[in-house]
Chain A
Amino acid sequence: MHSRERILAALHGQPVDRRPFVPVLSSYGARLTNMPLSRYYREPALYAAGQQAVVETFGVDAVIAPLLFPCEGEAFGSELRFYDNQPPNIRRMAGSSIDEFLAMKMPDPVSNPSYVYLLESARLTVERCGKDALVGAILTTPLDLPSLVVGIEGWLDALMFRRELLPQVFDRLVPQFLARARLLKQAGIDFYVISGGFDNSTTVMRSLVESTILPVLKRCLGELELPALLHNGGGSLLAFADLYGCLPQVAGIYLDGQEMAEARAGLPASCALIGGFTELSVQAGTPEQLYQQARALLQERRDDARFVLATIGPDVPLNTPAENILALRRAIRDEATEK
């Protein structure tokens, strides 16, 4: 099967020749192409070349256009700092309160340089990798974006104590979200990865999800024209899986390996389970440990047609041995061979 057929089959619960393999290796392409991150995350052609190297080296079934949330903060005026060993981060927020955010001019999703980088990287990644792998793109939701502009504390403060301003915030950001979604679709991507910083149970409680998070997600996702995978941010979506599994366009949810059985029991059958390994577990394990863990997970999920082996959380760190990532792929291939 071709990667496209394999992933689409998995998302639709149809038989596959082997499990799809979708680790998050956004920065890893820079390592494979020996490219400084300061150029990789500024020049779309270099990003696309890096993702092509990811496909060729690891045989992944899908790659993701830049996992670079700070870049969206930069579009609003936040300042970035670049590093040698990790993706850029925000060194200074554009503001510190939701009032400042509401006074800011919205960046143009077509011409703002930060958005141009993200969009052009997606387009070129499709051009270079689209024949061999699916290409997904991150969509930062209106629930996460303010934290990249006024900081986590400033946004939490608004979510909890400045609720009268939230309709104004979302009325500005939902159209922006949808405009970006349309542009990414025009760039040729196959699916969206929906950011999950402020919709996981590590960050927010159920009452906030029900009152605020869910209505915004419904508003955003209901308009999408491509499948959406809900990313877990750095936390867990398990506690709210019953709420998120029924959202429009949601084809899958990112989960850790030990969460999958419980999540499956509470999710609609149509929702795929994506994940199994945190980025840190892939970085810290030995190839043999990771191989055995992957085999065990594949065995546990053997009767679950809608399962995709992937990494969850942030990007796999740059100093992760390539052998560790290859061990996961080997586990998938060995399992398929033994079937």
Chain B
Amino acid sequence: METIVRALFERAKTGELTEGIALLEAWRRDHPAEDTITKVLEPLLMLVGTEWQKQCLSLAQSYVATRLVESALTAVAAERAAGASALTRGVVVLGNVEDDFHGMGRGMVASMLRAGHWEVVDLGNDVPAEEFVNAAVESGAKVIGVSAMMYTTSLNIVKVRRSLDERGLSGRIKLAVGGAVFRLRPDLVAEVGGDGTCLNALGAPELFQRLFDAASRQEVGHA
């Protein structure tokens, strides 16, 4: 692992965002732009995710790491806009399910996905089931990611599943679910009709890629 990754991780742990940003900017001056994501941000997120999973990292520390990543992504995006356009892996739709207003985790997932070259349509909080499905159809997304923090609101995800089923889209549009309650109750994924979940924002790019690939195979099967 690059020394810069460890140094940034330590800054996130101690809450030193400004120092972390300065450190990364200095590193970026001496390295190719593409390395920022592959050699720094992705390994940093991997480390943050692992430590979070081990319960060695708090929400506050994860928040600092996310802010650090967002800052770097903004800089990279600005450079890309000025230069050659970047390829995206595809479009995904994100939102907190109807009645759920805890959007912080969703914001972190969106950051991770953008870092992984996904185009994210973020619908925000309290999104009705139909709106998820409409947005996916309109944007051509093959994966919908629905977040719920609490048990009671997680049950509303069933409505998204039902809408996909009724419109004959299940299989061709996959349903990723996540949020604090799924860590405590993994059995809920099946109960609400989810196609998959991940333990934290770090796992989102891998999960969405897996579901995207599965949806693509299904689409080919239908063609």
Choose the segment among A78-86, A177-185, A322-330 that binds chain B (4+ C-beta atoms closer than 8 Å). Answer: A78-86
Find B60's partner among A90, A203, A318 (CB 8 Å cutoff). Answer: A203
Q: Are A204 and B59 closer than 8 Å at their CB atoms? A: yes
In the complex, which residues of chain B have a beta carbon less than 8 angstroms from the beta carbon of A35? Answer: none
CA distance A176 to B1 in the complex (A): 49
Query: A39 within 8 Å of B by Cβ?
Result: no
Query: B61 within 8 Å of A by Cβ?
Result: yes
Q: Are A160 and B64 closer than 8 Å at their CB atoms? A: yes
In the complex, which residues of chain B have a beta carbon less than 8 angstroms from the beta carbon of A280? Answer: 151, 181, 184-185
In the complex, which residues of chain A have a beta carbon less than 8 angstroms from the beta carbon of B155? Answer: 85
Q: Are B14 and A161 closer than 8 Å at their CB atoms? A: no
Query: A168 within 8 Å of B by Cβ?
Result: no
Interface of A is mostly: mixed
Query: A284 within 8 Å of B by Cβ?
Result: yes
Find A91's partner among B57, B101, B104, B187 (CB 8 Å cutoff). Answer: B101
Query: A208 within 8 Å of B by Cβ?
Result: yes
In the complex, which residues of chain B have a beta carbon less than 8 angstroms from the beta carbon of A89? Answer: 99, 101
Query: A3 within 8 Å of B by Cβ?
Result: no
Query: B214 within 8 Å of A by Cβ?
Result: no
Nearest Cβ on chain A to B185's Cβ, whole angstroms:
6
Instruction: Give the size of the chain A interface in residues (CB under 8 angstroms).
Output: 31
Q: Are A161 and B17 closer than 8 Å at their CB atoms? A: yes
Q: Which residue of B lies closest to A278 (CB)?
A: B184
**Chain B 177-216 residues near chain A, CB threshold 8 A:** 180-181, 184-185, 187
Q: Which residue of A lies closest to B18 (CB)?
A: A161
In the complex, which residues of chain B have a beta carbon less than 8 angstroms from the beta carbon of A159? Answer: 60
Q: Which residue of B lies closest to A205 (CB)?
A: B58
Contact with B along A256-293 (1 / 0, CB 8 A): 00000000000000000000001010011000000000
Query: B43 within 8 Å of A by Cβ?
Result: no
Query: A152 within 8 Å of B by Cβ?
Result: yes
With A91-B101, A153-B104, A160-B17 already in contact, the answer to whether A205 and B152 are too (CB < 8 A) is no
CA distance A284 to B101 in the complex (A): 24
- Since A157-B63, A160-B17 are in contact, a sample of 6 more A-B pairs with Cβ atoms closer than 8 Å, ordered by chain A residue number, is A89-B99, A91-B101, A91-B126, A153-B63, A201-B58, A284-B187
What are 25 A-B contacts with C-beta separation under 8 Å? A83-B152, A86-B150, A86-B152, A91-B126, A151-B104, A152-B102, A153-B63, A153-B103, A153-B107, A156-B59, A156-B63, A159-B60, A160-B64, A202-B55, A203-B58, A205-B13, A207-B15, A208-B58, A208-B60, A278-B184, A280-B151, A280-B181, A280-B185, A314-B150, A318-B152
Binding site for B on A (CB under 8 A): 81, 83, 85-86, 89-91, 151-153, 156-157, 159-161, 201-205, 207-208, 234, 236, 278, 280, 283-284, 314, 317-318
